[in-house]
Structure 1
Amino acid sequence: MEGFGGFFNDPDFQRRMQEMAEQMQSAQTLQWADNAIKLAVDMTVAAINRVNIQGTTEQQAQQIRSVMATVFPEAVTLVREARQGLQ
């Protein structure tokens, strides 16, 4: 077992373990960002799909703009935080 314990004291092994940990953390950050962006898109689509759009083309456009004005700031916040997490 003594030889095995020396394995963990090897500087090359420690460097490689550190690199692997950094790569895993980077992958987790990227996954979180992807999930946040997907959530923002899904949230926006779901909100628009719930609107009972009626009236003229201009009225319909106004109804969609109204939904977007409510949902968009939240979606932007999610995407902004996701992008900051990648930096």
Structure 2
Amino acid sequence: MLVINKDSPGLWEVLHGMNIKNLRLQSAKVYHAESMLQSLSSFTQLETVIIYIGNGSPNLWKGLCGLDIKSLSLSGFSEWMYVINEE
């Protein structure tokens, strides 16, 4: 499992296209959303995503949309979270 504790410049560019199956995001905030979105869409083997982020990020949801994730766990959100589309 790849654990990311802090979003930093260049991180998502380095990870882009890697064969990552399990990902845990533990960050107070996502700072490099565009790079993160591009990398998430390149993780074609991604099966499990665990997210612990202090605030909700619309860009994060855009990045997860369309991925073939088998298991998704969300925690740590300080604001209300609404599920608009559940499949």
Task: Answer whether TM exceeds 0.5 for this pair.
Answer: no
Query: Rg bigger for which structure?
Result: 1
Question: TM-score with structure 2 length normalisation?
Answer: 0.20
Hey, which of these two has a bigger chunk of strand by percent? 2
Between 1 and 2, higher relative CO (CA 8 Å, sep ≥ 6) is seen in 1
Hey, which of these two has a bigger chunk of helix by percent? 1
